[in-house]
Amino acid sequence: MEHSQPIPNPERFVRQQARGRGATISPFARFEPQRRVAVDDGWQSLLEDGGALPASKTQVQMEAAKSILTKNTSPDIPFDRSINPYRGCEHGCSYCFARPSHAFMGLSPGQDFEDKLFAKSGAADRLRETLARRSYSPRPIAMGTNTDPYQPTEKRLEITRSLLAVMLECRHPVTIVTKSALILRDRDLLKEMAAQNLVKVALSLTTLDRKLARAMEPRASTPQRRLDAIRLLRDCGVPVGVMAAPVIPALTDHELETLLQAAAHAGAVEAGYILLRLPLEVAPIFEDWLYTHVPDRASRVLRRIAGLRGGRLNDPRFKSRMRGEGAEADLLKARFRRAADRAGLNKTTTRLDCSRFERPLGADSRQYSLF
């Protein structure tokens, strides 16, 4: 698969990158019949500072959560329920597979995904109501499966913290994946949950190269801060692991062994990996990002991705979408297993305790039985 230049169709996107944002283009929302494009009226250039727009301000719209748990039946992932406190993500990861979900809101999976967020108000109350149902059976709830529960706006809104408080109150197990050192703010809750075998955490690491991380994941914590978070969580007794995710062929895959070793040295005990996924609008967004930031490697990266995906940039099929297929995918899997073994990772697996669950009672789920 050969590419000599970016392939996105100009009729389908606006070229727009503000300072501190990841997407270099903004594809139109695929369900919208109309297109709106910013035009320089001659009074002030839209392309100051070498083509970058001024820094954009994050807008957060509160939406009443009618329900809080998302059910999952995918055979690729080890959980059947999750919570996503936010739609969209300020971290701005250029490769984020969740970007296409913003099209359902009539917004672009490009910059809109990063600076037009939706936060679920009343999330903790909805969770209490769900856990209070007689039909509810506890199993670990996954957080961080779509967008990051500790993205920057969480510092102000504290929705994730309120959800953790409910789960601690009800002794309900939870798993968390994040790219943010903000999780350390909640060490008090996590430490208490860990003492009851109710929580485990994974820090997601793509690269140890700070400059590359800054370009790919502009508002996520630096790689070193994520390693520091692993160490501090471990010191609190919280079971913590690392997710090498995503592994990007010809860009970050060469770091796999070093990354796992660094995470193990920081205190990680478990590890996993996911191959880069480029569904729908993510493919042109990430491709244009490559030609913008690493033009000398862009074609090679795309060829390698296609080689792992049966000649395409994305393979949505179960079983292969997380790992790829073919000889190179098999080699990557073998490399990961050997590197994890050398680093002493995955020797044990933390299995969370569902037997401690205490169902909240009462119409508002705050009143408990006297007996």
Name the CA radius of gyration of the chain, rounded: 21
The model carries a pTM of: 0.89
Instruction: Tell me the domain boundaries of the chain.
Output: 22-29+49-343
pLDDT tens figures, 324-369? 999 999 999 999 999 999 999 999 999 999 999 999 975 444 554 5
For residue 273, the 8-state DSSP code is E
138 three-state secondary structure: coil
| Res. 27 pLDDT band, cuts 50 70 90 | confident
Top-confidence residue, 188 or 55: 188
Q: Chain-wide mean pLDDT for the chain? A: 90
* Those residues with Cβ within 8 angstroms of residue 34's Cβ, 6 or more apart along the chain or in another chain: none
pLDDT at 207 over 70: yes
Tally the C-alpha atoms within 13 A of residue 268's C-alpha that lie toward its C-beta.
Answer: 29
pLDDT at 311 over 70: yes
pLDDT attached to residue 363: 43
Give per-residue burial for 299-329: e unless 16+ CB within 10 Å, then b.
bebbebbbbbbeeebbbeeeebbbbbbeeeb
CATH architecture of 22-29+49-343: Alpha-Beta Horseshoe (3.80)
Top-confidence residue, 38 or 357: 357
What percent of the chain lies above the pLDDT cut of 70? 87
Least confidently predicted of 39-53, 56-70, 92-106: 39-53
What average pLDDT does the segment 257-264 reach?
98
